[in-house]
Structure formats: structure tokens, C-alpha cells
Amino acid sequence: MEELQHECGIAALYYLPGRAERSSVWPGDPDQLSRLMPRMLLDLQNRGQLAAGMTSYHPQRDQLLDTYKEVGTVIEAFRLNHPHKYTSIMEEYAGRAAIGHTRYATCGATDRRYAQPFERRHGCKWKWFAFAFNGQLTNFTELRRQLLANHDYHLTRNNDTEVILHYIAHELRGDDRPDLIRVFSRLAQKFDGAYNIVFLNALGDMVVLRDPLGLRPLCYALDGPVFAAASESVALQNLGFRHIQSLQPGELILIHNGELTLHQYASSGRSAHCFFEWVYFANVASTLDERSVYLTRARLGEELARQERALQRVPLDPADTIVVPVPDTGKAAADAMAFALGLRSVEGLIRNRYVGRTFIEGDNRADKVRLKFTPLREVLSGKRVLLVEDSIVRSTTLKSLLHHLRQQGGAREIHVRVACPPIIAPCFYGIDMSTVGELFAPRFLRGPSPTWEEQQAMAQELGADSLLYLPVEAVARCIGLPPDKLCLACVTAHYPTPSGQQLYQLAVRRRECPGANGRTYEQPDLTDRLPSVPSTHPH
């Protein structure tokens, strides 16, 4: 509900030659396959709305690789509301292979120069490449420093995508065509963090890879000669693919000379899938690593119901107690919770789906809430409301919403139930919450688990009658994966990579330093100005 933003979504398409079977997904001209890319990116729009783009490959075109990208949503960038302009774009960038991207900025500016894919042109076809990237390199600052210190490099953007471009280009140097599996194996030894990459060169070689920890989701499918990959399964399912599989951590798909092969390019010894994908980010229709997002959120709601019955803090009288989801990510949990408690789940808040981005820019949270949500007074007036929220990160929007529910909706009581543990630590792997100071919960907590008293202090700050979070241990149960296969860093402060843990210590120390503003991973080394903090600091 707080409009937390994700780094981005990636997609890939390839028409494999020499396959006799036909494709029901794309039975048309192989050289027009790239026309499917905007449709795929629409289904990844939840992962980024600032820019969208694609690079296509066509062996009979002067521009063997050609990149189109613009600032805006997929509809805006590809001019989908202007049929003639959209058709012109699709004709100019037609190809039998393509990679695509939707962007939100957790690093760097928001102008077109930062939109992806990034393309590096070269006279040698295997050195001419484009790529798109989903995630965040936690050691981006150190990698950037190494480039600037050890080589005659000049970097024009302050983001990890340009750093990755230069590292790939460096691996492709020399007179002999390199083995792309070895290229990305060597890069895996240098990169720390989350990095799913789609890569395409002017020979028509494609690489689709998932980082060694599998922090961000990535899936793929084949339908006859048509191969596709995307950050989420819904983008493939809606094209008509049936047998969709998750790429495993440290795996890559290589398409070389028109042949597709699967390889293990790196190993970490463990996986660390981001639990927040299931709780908040992913499309509710997606399946990530064979776990349904919808069913996971429903189980989170069932956990909320069990907790509610056990604690008995609120009367559960069906006559005057209702469950209301915060649209849209809270709905599956709210419905399941209400059913388990024998209460009605009602849409007491209606989201305005037609408010464009322009109208909700700025810092006035109350205005944003009034524009985006309409409380139904006929449903809420005089009721005891169990308001189900997917998570609380900064709390500012939720506070305005609670005030709106009381003033406009006439709710008698509002009890906030959160289908997630307290967010106590930043994310350095591609979610836009990189500092401790912006988080709500750490200001109230004194231990690893919130007490009833601490949660009620939070409720008072928010303007709620009560507040309850789910415990950390409930998350793994609901997803159906062991805790050691998940990244739970934002709710435990235990990070799965060394640079992530170091950034957390820096973030805690920066919180005490006047003038240390901005995202943690974009800052210069502030060590000399930062007070020391024990490594066992609870938050």
C-alpha cells in the first residue's frame, strides 16, 4: 500500500531455428517475434513504472542489434494508445530475438539515459551486445571505484547497470570469441548481491541468468521453436505458455548458434529467495519457485486468524466486526483471515485505478490517499474494522489512510493486522528502502520480536486502536520453504551476502551521522565521520 518500489522486471524472447513443431504462442513470422515483448512487459509493470524498453536482433538488418527505450509506463513508452505509432515502433525494431525491461530507480536518476536495456556497439559482432538487469549489486561502489582507479575509464551514470556493462565488456576483450558461460562465471566471482541478467549480442547469442542466491525470481518456457523468459510466470502464462519452470540459482540458459542449453555457471551453497516477493511485490497470479503467490498470501491471512484467536484482543462479533483489505496486495490475506474467523471480508476501501502518476507526485501523503482511496461509509460507519495490510515500511501513507477511514468512512475502531513481520532493516538487493532512518518499526523495538506493548505504541503513533504483526517464523511456513532458503534480511537484519552485511553496518552508523543522507549504497565512504556501532546492534 505504501507503494514500495522494486528495481525492475526483465524478459527475453527467441525464435529457435530448425524446430519442426509449430508454436501456438507465435505461429507467425519468426522475424516479428519481438512484437510479443510489450505484451510481456505489461505483465511486469508491477516491478517498475519509470521506463520501459527492448533490444531486438535481426540478422538481415544493418542494425543487427537495435534498442528502443523511453521514460514512462509500458503503455506510454511503446505508444500503445496510438496504434500507428506503436505499429511503426514494432516494424522498426522487429526481430527474431529480443530482451526487455521495465524500470524503477533504486539507484541513479530517472531520465532516459538510465532506462534499459543498455547497449554497447562495436565493430566486432560478439563484442556488440545489449543487456538488461534486475536487482542491485551491493558492492557496486567498490566495483565502480576499481574501474575508475585501475583503468582509463570514465563513467557517465551513477548506477550499477553501467558498472555491469563495463565489466561484461572487459570480459569480452581480446581477439578470440569467448565462452559466454565462462564470462559470467568469472563475473559471478566479482559481483555481490542480486543480479538477474538477460544478454543478447550481434551474433544472435543470448544468455538468461539468475544470480547464485536466486534472490529475485526468474522463469522460462518453451513452446515449439519459441523460447521466453521473464521475472514472473504471469508474463509467460498470459502469452499461452503452459510448461513454465523456474531457473535455479546460479543457472543460466545459453542460446548459441540457435541451440538452447542449460548450465550451472556459479554456485553459492545456498539459496536466498526474497520473501517479500510473495508478500508484496509479485503479481498475485504468479508462481515463484513453484510457490503460488496467491496461496502464500492466503496462508498469511490464515496465520493472522490463528494469532487473532489465540490473543483474543478484539471482540470478533460478526454483527459489528468486519475485515477490510488495503487494496490490492492485502486482499488475499484479508479474505482468508475473515473466512477463518467467521467474519465478513468487505471492500471498505475502493482504489481509484485511473489516477495517473502525474496526479500523485509530490510529498503530500494526505492528498495522495484521498486521490487513490475512497472509503465506503455505508460499509464502514460504526464498525469495528480489522484492516489487513501486507506490510508497514515507512508508515506515512498508512497514517494518512487511517485518518481518512475515520473521518470519511466513519469507522468506530480500526485494528491494523499486518501479514508480515516488522521491517527493521534496509534492503540492498533491489527494493527501494536502503536506510534505517526511513523505517517505522526500529524506532519502537528493543528486541528481535515486538511485544504487545511495543505494537500498541506503534498503533498509537499511527492512529489505530491496535496493531499486530505476524512473527518471523510464520513467513517460511506460509511460503513453504525452509528459512535458510529465504532472504529475510529486512525482518532479521541477517544478510545473505558479505557486502549486504557490511552495508547494513554502514546504514546503522550513518543513522547517527548528521548530513549522511541518501541511499546507503550510493554514498561515498563515510567511515571517518561515522560513529562506531557494535556488530550486535539489534536493529
The C-alpha cell that represents 355 in the structure block: 489516477
User: Are residues 434 and 520 in contact, defined by beta-carbon separation less than 8 angstroms?
Assistant: yes
Residue 179 identity (one-letter amino acid): D
SS3 assignment, position 257: coil
Q: Which residue, among 438, 445, 389, 426, has the nearest Cα to 503 in the 3D structure? A: 426
Is 8 one of the catalytic residues?
yes
Q: What is the DSSP string of 347-362?
A: --EEE-TT--GGGG-S
Question: In terms of DSSP H, where are the helices of 232-292?
Answer: 234-237, 276
Q: How would you classify the pairing of strands 384-389 and 373-375?
A: unpaired
The C-alpha cell that represents 464 in the structure block: 489505530
Question: Strand runs (DSSP E) across 138-242, as ranges?
Answer: 193-201, 206-209, 219-223, 226-230
The C-alpha cell that represents 342 in the structure block: 467467521
SS3 assignment, position 294: helix
Q: What is the DSSP string of 193-218?
A: EEEEEEEEETTS-EEEE--TT--S--
SS3 assignment, position 382: coil
- For 349, residues 6+ apart whose C-beta sits below 8 A from its C-beta are 324, 325, 326, 327, 373, 374, 375, 376, 401, 405, 409
User: Are residues 52 and 62 in contact, defined by beta-carbon separation less than 8 angstroms?
Assistant: no
* Tally of CB atoms within 10 A around 228: 26
- For 250, residues 6+ apart whose C-beta sits below 8 A from its C-beta are 188, 210, 211, 212, 214, 264, 265, 266, 267, 268
CB neighbour class for 18 (10 Å; exposed up to 12, middle 13-18, buried from 19): exposed
Question: In terms of DSSP H, where are the helices of 419-471?
Answer: 452-462
CB neighbour class for 153 (10 Å; exposed up to 12, middle 13-18, buried from 19): middle
Q: Which residue, among 116, 90, 112, has the nearest Cα to 102 in the 3D structure? A: 116
* Structure letter (DSSP) for residue 6: B
How far apart are the C-alpha atoms of 458 and 454, rounded to whole Å?
Answer: 6
Q: Which residue, among 138, 130, 124, 170, has the nearest Cα to 151 in the 3D structure? A: 170
Positions marked active-site = 8
